[in-house]
Amino acid sequence: MKIGRIIGTVVATRKDERLTGHKLMITQGLDLEGNPEGDAVIAVDTVGAGIGELVIFTEGTAARYAADKPQSPIDAAIIGIIDNIDVYEELLKKRR
Amino acid sequence: MKIGRIIGTVVATRKDERLTGHKLMITQGLDLEGNPEGDAVIAVDTVGAGIGELVIFTEGTAARYAADKPQSPIDAAIIGIIDNIDVYEELLKKRR
Amino acid sequence: MKIGRIIGTVVATRKDERLTGHKLMITQGLDLEGNPEGDAVIAVDTVGAGIGELVIFTEGTAARYAADKPQSPIDAAIIGIIDNIDVYEELLKKRR
Amino acid sequence: MKIGRIIGTVVATRKDERLTGHKLMITQGLDLEGNPEGDAVIAVDTVGAGIGELVIFTEGTAARYAADKPQSPIDAAIIGIIDNIDVYEELLKKRR
Amino acid sequence: MKIGRIIGTVVATRKDERLTGHKLMITQGLDLEGNPEGDAVIAVDTVGAGIGELVIFTEGTAARYAADKPQSPIDAAIIGIIDNIDVYEELLKKRR
């Protein structure tokens, strides 16, 4: 899973019917400092998350299970709203 | 899923028979400003999209479900034609 | 799927027996100008493609279906020989 | 699988119920010198690993098997605590 | 599949029991000139390969089939020992 922020939405009238009923959220992955990292993805929301929220998102087959639609074209889903992150980056200075 | 634009087509007479009947669309992923991002992919069209259109595309097993061919060699598919995108990039300035 | 060119072969006497009977083709992904893009992969040939040919290749579970060996260690396969590519890169100048 | 270090945790009260009971560990992949490499991921712990430990983590469907939840939204899991790494980087100087 | 060289091993006493009995090989992907490319991975050996050998490795679900453990946390496996590589890089100068 990755840490991301919901920064927008996509509207598509003509689409795979298995997407109907899901909000399509533009979700930007973030690095440990909160800066954008990697491509933004379109993820379906499964937890009632809103624009601006910091979320956990998942990709691939995991996203279809998140949406309870294992045989759908979904490949990214929001699965948690983050309350708190604790990161100890100084641990990265440890040598093997 | 990702945001992309259909920018071309590929013709292959000699190909896996499970690709027959699908238009093979060259689809370029776009970043939030609409600039090319990442490699272009060859995606099968499942929604009647045309060259030049802004679309939603999906990759991996999700693409086989989109094409209703779960046991085919397809790994990318166009699953929606985008009417509108709302992005609030200023949200990325929020700190954790 | 991706556009690639077959640029070589790999020989391995000692290998997973489910690879036996497949030519192992070194396949280099190409960008829209025909320049190398991303890592070269070793793909099994499923369409009788030869060295130097421009091909469509697929990755992941899709490759095992291409080879009709869904329970094999294959993760990349050549599934089409490209006759023609039409790309309209000027479409990328369109704004959202 | 990859080598990583657990450098933090994420708390999410509102989340997919199939994540309940799993510690959500921020895990940073490391290169052969022990420097950060690639995006940090949120991985579920399956071996009792703690913050600061050097671990083996796996991604994709493999992570759901690690957690014994094959139909869950999990896409990354910690599956081993590393006791020792032996690397002979001089082998990379060998030519084909 | 990718071309790589085995450059080390990882020892983990505390690990997912489905990893028991597999050597955990640090495998570095190589480009066409034999230089390191991409992240090193921890792959299980399925063909009796040793440190320093040039190998074929596979990733994702393919790796679990290679190890004959389809429901395990394995996501990378060594599936062949390379005897010979023939590459014709001048083919990349061909234009579409």
Whether E60 and C61 lie within 8 Å, measured CB to CB: yes
Using the Cα atoms of residue E20, residue E26, residue E29 and residue E34 in order, give the sign of their dihedral: negative
Q: Does the pLDDT of residue A94 top 90, yes or no?
A: no
Q: Does the pLDDT of residue C96 top 80, yes or no?
A: no
Subunits next to A (3 or more Cβ pairs <8 Å) are B, D
Q: Does the pLDDT of residue E92 top 90, yes or no?
A: no
Per-residue pLDDT at C27: 98
Q: Which residues lie across from B80 on neighbouring strands?
A: A15, B56
Segment C81-94 shows an average pLDDT of: 91
Q: Does C34 touch chain B (CB under 8 A)?
A: no
Q: Does C44 touch chain B (CB under 8 A)?
A: no
> What gap in Å lies between CA C31 and CA B41, rounded to an integer?
10
ipTM comes to 0.96
Phi/psi for D37 (5° steps) reads: -145, 125
Per-residue pLDDT at D82: 98
Sorted by where each starts, the structural domains of chain A and their CATH numbers stand as: 2-93 (2.40.50.220)
Reported confidence tier of residue C92, pLDDT bands at 50, 70, 90: confident
Q: Does A94 touch chain D (CB under 8 A)?
A: yes
Q: Does B21 touch chain C (CB under 8 A)?
A: no
Subunits next to B (3 or more Cβ pairs <8 Å) are A, C
Contacts of B75 in chain A (CB under 8 A): none
Per-residue pLDDT at A92: 87
Contacts across the D-E interface (CB distance below 8 Å):
120
> What gap in Å lies between CA E29 and CA E17, rounded to an integer?
27
Nearest to D4 by CA among D76, D56, D82, D60: D56
Whether B87 and A42 lie within 8 Å, measured CB to CB: no
For the stretch C1-60, pLDDT in tens is: 999 999 999 999 999 999 999 999 999 999 999 999 999 999 999 999 999 999 999 999
Per-residue pLDDT at E96: 55
Q: Does A10 touch chain D (CB under 8 A)?
A: no
Confirm if D29 and D4 have CB atoms less than 8 A apart. Answer: yes
Q: Does the pLDDT of residue E33 top 80, yes or no?
A: yes
**How many angstroms away from the CA of C93 is the closest CA of chain E?**
22
Per-residue pLDDT at D96: 55
Nearest to A2 by CA among B36, D29, C67: D29
Q: Does A36 touch chain D (CB under 8 A)?
A: no
Segment B82-90 shows an average pLDDT of: 94
Pick the residue from chain D with its C-alpha nearest to E32.
Answer: D96
Q: Does A60 touch chain B (CB under 8 A)?
A: yes
For the stretch A9-34, pLDDT in tens is: 999 999 999 999 999 999 999 999 99
Q: Does B37 touch chain A (CB under 8 A)?
A: yes
For the stretch E53-87, pLDDT in tens is: 999 999 999 999 999 999 999 999 999 999 999 99
| Mean pLDDT value across chain A | 95
DSSP string computed for chain E:
-EEEEEEEEEE-SEE-GGGTT--EEEEEEB-TTS-B-S--EEEEESS---TT-EEEEEETHHHHHHTT-TTSS--EEEEEE-SEEEE-GGGGG---
Confirm if D2 and D56 have CB atoms less than 8 A apart. Answer: yes
Whether D19 and A79 lie within 8 Å, measured CB to CB: yes
Reported confidence tier of residue C95, pLDDT bands at 50, 70, 90: low
Name the percent of chain B lying above pLDDT 90.
88
Phi/psi for B13 (5° steps) reads: -70, -45
| Mean pLDDT value across chain B | 95
For the stretch D24-79, pLDDT in tens is: 999 999 999 999 999 999 999 999 999 999 999 999 999 999 999 999 999 999 99
For the stretch A59-71, pLDDT in tens is: 999 999 999 999 9
Which has the higher per-residue pLDDT, E60 or C93?
A: E60
Whether B79 and A73 lie within 8 Å, measured CB to CB: yes
Whether C39 and E31 lie within 8 Å, measured CB to CB: yes
Pick the residue from chain A with its C-alpha nearest to D84.
Answer: A96
Contacts of E64 in chain D (CB under 8 A): 61-62, 65
Whether B42 and C29 lie within 8 Å, measured CB to CB: no
Confirm if E10 and D82 have CB atoms less than 8 A apart. Answer: yes
